[in-house]
Structure 1
Amino acid sequence: MEVVSATSYRFGIVVSQWNSEVTGRLLAGAYDSLQKHGAQEEHITVVQVPGSYELTSGADILLRNSQLDAIICLGCVIQGETKHFDYICSAVAHGITHVALKYNKPVIFGVLTTDNLQQAMDRAGGKHGNKGEEAAVTAIQMAALSANVK
């Protein structure tokens, strides 16, 4: 897949501090991918939030207070013994969609929802690649689509 240049776009990355051994790798992958495709360092804003549940609020705050073209939400929710996993994953997915529609801006779901830590690590630079990189490419493509379709 050919990726358009990110040079003319501004990006926000909202990253969860929870499961930071995973989300730190996702962040590095997303940031590096944006720069690889031409995003200027001064056009990338990174904010941290406590957990994946707060990604929605972080994205909302960034879009309310800036001129960003796309937001990348990065988090990791690992299945536990209770239904907490289901509630968090559902709330985050719906929240990210709501923020995207509220601001008419691309808000990318870069949240891993895995059964265990190994599966998460496999998707954060391991044998299944880095989903942070994929989220960045998606943000670039969607920013371009938004800019070019009026």
Structure 2
Amino acid sequence: MPTKLNIDIQFASPTIEVALAKTASSMLMKKWVRAATDHSGLLTLRFVNAAEGKKLNFAFRKKNYATNVLTFPYDLSKNSLTADIIFCLPVIQKEAKNQNKTLKAHLAHLIVHGCLHAQAYDHESQKDAVKMEGLEVKILQNLGFPNPYLDQ
């Protein structure tokens, strides 16, 4: 029986929605999410500005800066998950430029990365990082993107 994953995409402002639409449609982002999980459930992707990103990072991680992606997993079972994944578009845009990556490739990587976090993958230890990064590389290659961990 196929899984039913509901994917909700939210934008903190019309400006963010317009900027993002130039890089990836909602349909394309949902394709990336489905490539990174075979669970059913609900995933919410929210794209925010730097002020909201900084506020959330401080409130939940006590870090006083905006970060590229924050994942909030609420429920995870063998077949189902529920999570919110927050993306700070200005940080992602700056990182892509600084890393000489296309915004599309960097965004795809971070969406896959956030989805793996929602499924309890982590990169706190070297062993876990190798496992998670290997999955990211495989998923992204299947989607036609280069290895995000190689210098471009």
TM range (shorter): 0.3 to 0.5
Higher relative CO (Cα under 8 Å, sequence separation at least 6) belongs to 1
**TM-score, reference length from structure 2:** 0.39
**TM-score, reference length from structure 1:** 0.39
